[in-house]
């Protein structure tokens, strides 16, 4: 055939593996960024009720001084929760769910090993408490910054 040019592109397993590995690392970094964005939202200024929380004494230690209190400003409805004990933040973890898929979850124990039952209630609210979303706003920020899709359930 005169004037005919043909280019053939064949699958190269090693090149594909390298690209998939790069994509996997990128997705892991996005998941870590989402986790960091959530944790940052816990320490941003809040606009809820102010109250005083008694500082705890370690179990088995006798109190030798007067009781001490710390001012705490709670989150208002619609704001991410205010950090009080840190248990919710410590429960947030990043885990691989499948090849090229990473999940950020809260409430299941995470770094501290302590499961918090209220992680979902804060995110979505209950019939008694208005939502204090932290996962969805952080996911929107990271998704907009990088042009990626997200799903919060």
> Where are the chain's structural domains?
32-45+78-146
User: Which CA distances in Å does 134 have to 19, 25, 52, 120, 128?
Assistant: 32, 24, 24, 10, 18
Distance CA 3, CA 147 (A): 43
| DSSP category for residue 98 | E
Interacting residues of 69 by C-beta distance below 8 A, sequence separation 6+: 52, 53, 54, 55
pLDDT in tens, the chain (153 residues): 566 555 555 566 777 788 889 999 999 999 999 999 999 999 999 999 999 988 777 777 776 677 788 899 999 999 999 998 899 999 999 988 888 889 899 998 766 667 899 999 999 999 999 999 999 999 999 999 988 878 888
Q: Can you give the pTM of this predicted structure?
A: 0.81
């Amino acid at each position: 055939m005169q004037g005919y040019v043909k280019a053939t592109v064949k699958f190269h397993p090693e090149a594909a593996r390298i690209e998939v590995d790069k994509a996997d690392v990128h997705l892991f970094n996005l998941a870590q960024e989402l986790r960091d964005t959530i944790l940052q939202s816990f320490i941003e200024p809040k606009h809820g009720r102010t109250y005083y929380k008694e500082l705890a004494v370690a179990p088995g230690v006798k109190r030798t001084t007067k009781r001490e209190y710390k001012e705490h400003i709670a989150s208002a409805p619609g704001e991410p929760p205010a950090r009080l004990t840190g248990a919710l933040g410590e429960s947030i973890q990043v885990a691989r769910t499948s090849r090229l898929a990473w999940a950020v979850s809260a409430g299941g124990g995470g770094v501290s090993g302590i499961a918090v039952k209220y992680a979902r209630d804060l995110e979505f609210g209950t019939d008694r408490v208005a939502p204090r979303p932290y996962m969805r706003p952080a996911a929107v920020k990271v998704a907009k910054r990088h042009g990626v899709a997200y799903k919060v359930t």
